[in-house]
Structure 1
């Protein structure tokens, strides 16, 4: 008979809170110092973010990417969670949309995160293909 492990929600991180906090406190935060403090709370010491166009290493580099997106797309640009995050055994996902607040959706996607000791260790940003 194969060995199996029985798991429960006990000891699992709050995936929804963690991934929503990442959107709100990191990717929607325009103040660099506040964003850096959020990264220290939410991410491990040496996180890695995988984007479609490259790999970003470290909290400072992730902060620079988030700040650059907000600067590039203007003062009303926001990331908004869609539904609740799902997760178990250290992997969480959250669907999101982004665009000008109250305006048309510019992009949608999914964040997939490896969670270690309650913080994000690796984050994959998966973008949905553009709609015609």
Structure 2
């Protein structure tokens, strides 16, 4: 499969919505199996997470930590070519202030996310 045929926007938006916004463990695991290669790696600012089960665990913990209305919202359209894609996002409670902004950068192999870098923007000082 060439990367010219990949819908980068759909892939990265699905990752936000179906993995990092999904509170149901079974639905999240099914989405990860569909969207990620068998042995994915996720690079967070403070950790390297390996494997589908660990990515699911991290997503579940984030949602528990930040409360029942916390959501990741895509900003604009994901862009990509030659196996690399980028999607900016913001996150926070629904109808509340933005808590964090950042972007996901993904390396795509065979139409699935192989490696995902979670980049957080610096917090603005008040």
Please give the alpha-carbon distance, in whole angstroms, between the structure 1 residues aligned to 2:118 and 2:92.
16
Please give the alpha-carbon distance, in whole angstroms, between the structure 2 residues aligned to 1:19 and 1:84.
9
Q: Give the alignment's TM-score, normalised by structure 2.
A: 0.96
Q: Give the alignment's TM-score, normalised by structure 1.
A: 0.92
Residue in 1 that maps onto 2:119: 126
Quick check: 2:4–2:81 contact (8 Å CA) kept in 1?
no
CA positional deviation for 1:10: 7.4
Q: Count residues with an aligned counterpart.
A: 124
Please give the alpha-carbon distance, in whole angstroms, between the structure 1 residues aligned to 2:17 and 2:42.
17
Residue in 2 that maps onto 1:43: 36
- What is the RMSD computed on CA atoms of the aligned residues? 1.1
Q: Where does the alignment leave 5 or more consecutive residues of structure 1 unmatched? A: 1-8
Map Cα deviations across residues 57-91 of structure 1 (whole Å, 9 max, x no partner): 00000000000000000000000000000100000
State which of 82, 90, 94 in structure 2 corresponds to 1:89: 82
Q: Where does the alignment leave 5 or more consecutive residues of structure 2 unmatched? A: none
- Structure 1 pair 130/13, CA: closer, same or farther in 2 (3 Å)? same
Give the number of the structure whose alpha-carbon radius of gyration is greater: 1
Map Cα deviations across residues 77-130 of structure 1 (whole Å, 9 max, x no partner): 000000000100000000000000110000000100000010000000000000
